[in-house]
A = this chain, B = another copy of it.
């Protein structure tokens, strides 16, 4: 299963697909649901949805819990945090560089 060298691989990889982002949005807005139910509104098969949900689960963005003969998938939105952190960090490093550059070009302030 190629144990993602970096957890961010799984995270951003999961978010790279529009269907998966839609699933996350639905789960966030309407609450937990089963794969069969989620597939009803989508132009793809239940199996395809299951695969997407598994990718999301591997990335930790979704939790799967069995309830009788259903499996309810729920959003785990806190797992988005590392992604946000990475982006903010990267942007921050860039800002610092710009800051230094600006200071250098304009030492008088």
Which residues of chain A have a CB within 8 Å of any CB of chain B? 5-6, 8-9, 12-13, 15-18, 21, 24-25, 28-29, 31, 75, 77-78, 80, 83-84, 86-88, 90-91, 93-95, 97
Given contacts A80-B87, A87-B84, contact A97 B28 (CB under 8 A): yes
Q: For A91, give the chain B residue with the smallest CB separation.
A: B77
Q: Main SS of chain A's interface residues?
A: helix
Counted per complex, copies of this chain come to: 2
Given contacts A6-B18, A9-B18, A97-B31, contact A91 B87 (CB under 8 A): no
Contacting residues, chain B, for A87 (C-beta < 8 A)? 15, 80, 83-84
Q: For A4, give the chain B residue with the smallest CB separation.
A: B18
- Asked whether, in the complex, the Cβ of A24 is within 8 Å of the Cβ of B90, the reply is yes
